[in-house]
Structure 1
Amino acid sequence: MDALVDVNDPEFAAALETVFHDLRAQSAVQPELRENPGYGPMLYAPDGSGQGLTQPRGTTAPDRLADLADQIQEWAVEALWTEGVAAVWPHCPEHPNSHPLRATVVEEAAVWACPKSGAVVARIGELDSRSLT
């Protein structure tokens, strides 16, 4: 079961910054983060649409980071589509312009991996603009 997130929780703040690093490195859209009472943190797109963030209970730190990355990826894909640009984030360097990487856990680390080959591209938080295709 998911729980509301406290944006002042240091673990959540660090995980959020980790994923935002990757978003800044490879996305044309950036969210505005706002705390909404009763709903927790929300990501807002340039068009004003928003998406809430949740934190799963009872999982490991890498699982929580991968889950947060997945939620932010959902937001980014929608925001990119709304802006009229390719709705792919983060880009898969193995298969350009075909699909985004998938947030997952491999060997107890949260990573971005190709959903087709399973190849790990980077740890979550370590993408850079050179990975763009």
Structure 2
Amino acid sequence: MQRELAAAPEPILSNLGKPGGVQPDLRDEPWREDPQTASAFLYAPDGSGQGISIDLGLPTVTQVVALADQVQEWAVEALWSLGCPTNWPPCPQHPDSHPLAAVVRAGRAVWVCPTLETEVGEIGKLGH
């Protein structure tokens, strides 16, 4: 697996293992043919898969946020298939309403409440 793609999802995947999450099977199965892009697949416990990709050469923080959006889409589907709440990661201010959003702030990849735009924590450090 491309080094940048192998490193960028680590913080996101650590958040997925927290209570209310689901852990994917990350497989080195490239699906994009663009040499400036790295790609792989995430598989859910039910066997369904979704491709993820990043543009190579971008700052790591930008890659992490882009992957967080893609992993979040995967998590919603995987959690739904398990009959679990799909607002991952749940917003602590609105836990029954919406998930957090991944953004770059002050050079860091962080989760924010999309309604209040308040920072909840760095991607990879939720619940620490």
TM bracket (short chain): 0.7 to 0.9
The offset of 1:37, in angstroms, is: 4.8
> What is the TM-score when the length of structure 2 is the normalising length?
0.86
With normalisation by structure 1, the TM-score equals: 0.83
CA 1:57–1:17: 2 relative to 1, 3 Å: closer
Aligned partner of 1:24 in structure 2 is 17
Q: Show the counterpart of 1:125.
A: 124
| Equivalent pair of 1:42/1:52 in contact (CA under 8 Å) | yes
Shift of residue 57, structure 1, vs aligned partner:
4.6
Q: Kindly indicate whether the alpha-carbon contact (under 8 Å) linking 1:92 and 1:99 is maintained by their aligned counterparts in 2.
A: yes
- Change in Cα spacing, 1:111 to 1:32, as seen in structure 2 (3 Å) is same
Number of residue pairs matched by the alignment = 122
Equivalent residue number for residue 29 of structure 2: 36
Residue number in structure 2 paired with 1:3: none
Query: Is 2:31–2:40's contact at 8 Å kept on the other side of the alignment?
Result: no
- Structure 2: distance between partners of 1:31 and 1:118: 28
| Unmatched runs of 5 consecutive residues or more in structure 2 | 33-38
Equivalences for 1:1-133 in 2 at 5 Å?
7-9=1-3, 11-39=4-32, 40-57=39-56, 59-128=58-127
Identity of aligned residues (%): 48
In structure 2, C-alpha distance between the alignment counterparts of 1:34 and 1:15, rounded to whole Å: 14
Tell me the distance in 1 between the aligned counterparts of 2:20 and 2:5: 21
Q: CA deviation at 1:53?
A: 1.0
For structure 1, the 5+ residue unaligned runs are 1-6
Structure 1 ranges of 4+ moved more than 3 A? 37-40
